[in-house]
Amino acid sequence: MDREAILQAVFKEDWDPVITWLYRNQQDIPKDDLLTYAAGIFAAEFFAKLPTYPLDRPDIDTYLATLWSLHQRQLYVLKPTHHRLLITQSALRNSQDPERAYQFAREFPDDEACQAIIAAYERRRPPPMAHSQSHTIQVTQQPTTPEIPAQEYRITLFKSYQEKQLFQALINNFPSYNVFPNVAISCLLNWETLKPLLTTDERKLFFTGIVDFVIFDRAQDLLPMHFFELDSPHHDTESAQFRDQAKDGIFLKAGVTLHRIRKMDPEVTEREFTLLIRELIQS
């Protein structure tokens, strides 16, 4: 971007191209005059408009998170007034995540809005439990509610017997790895680097979709290594195929193989699954 493009975008309140450009070149901001200028003009205009934006605008949350990251890593240090506004607005805009809102609010306990967030959070928070390490580790648990009937509310992660079969087959093939079922895509892939490559439908699925089974390497800080989906006739509906295509698109653009496994013969057992997975990972 040049100065004219920056000014035009800021004048139109078209924040996305400027913040994206800054994020992609974040390491150069401290030493590049144009990037420093862009960050300064963006911050000045964005923070002037910030209080007028609805609290439920998700794009504003993204811009705040990017600015917070740049400030924390000293790549672009915000003015004190801008930093205060960033924190207080982040607290207000995280109302769906009380813990996160509380952590932001604690940075400016003298702010009226932050005081309300802190008070509301601490009213809901149960008192700490007494234990042998209370002086260094705090433990809380939700209060008991006697009016709820005493019965079993827990359910297994497995929705079918073949899910259990495939899980055990993966355990057989990856004994020194961690096998986790039902893992959110957003916990597996880097949103910031993938976002520009994804379609609108793929972006929506990124934060709602899950992968049936993921193999994590313990020796690499639980880096996800292999990805498996268990297909069935339920995936043949138009809506399911639409979601599967979006999921395939995400993993294709991430350069990651997503194995889809469907049992065509009801007599297939854990043993056949085990042999198949061994073949797939060795190919």
Q: Are strands 258-262 and 223-231 parallel, antiparallel or unpaired?
A: parallel
Q: Which DSSP letter does residue 137 get?
A: -
Q: Tell me the average pLDDT across 73-92.
A: 91
Neighbours of 102 (CB within 10 A): 19
Sign of the torsion angle spanned by Cα atoms 168, 174, 176, 179: negative
Statement: residue 103 has pLDDT above 90: yes
Statement: residue 271 has pLDDT above 90: yes
Q: Among all chains, which residue has been given the structure tokens 């997503």?
A: 258
Statement: residue 194 has pLDDT above 90: yes
- The pLDDT tens digits for 12-23 are 888 888 888 888
Q: Tell me the average pLDDT across 61-69.
A: 89
Statement: residue 223 has pLDDT above 90: yes
Helix (H) / strand (E) element for 252: namely helix 238-253
Per-residue confidence band for 42, with pLDDT thresholds at 50, 70 and 90: confident
**pLDDT at 202 (0 to 100):** 95
Q: Where are the domains of the chain?
A: 3-124, 161-282
Render 87-121 in DSSP notation, one character per residue. Answer: HHHHHHTTTT-HHHHHHHHTT-TTSHHHHHHHHHH
Taking CA 70 as the corner, what is the angle to CA 65 and CA 73, rounded to the nearest 5 degrees? Answer: 120
Tokens of 218: 């313990």
pTM for this predicted structure:
0.56
**pLDDT at 1 (0 to 100):** 64
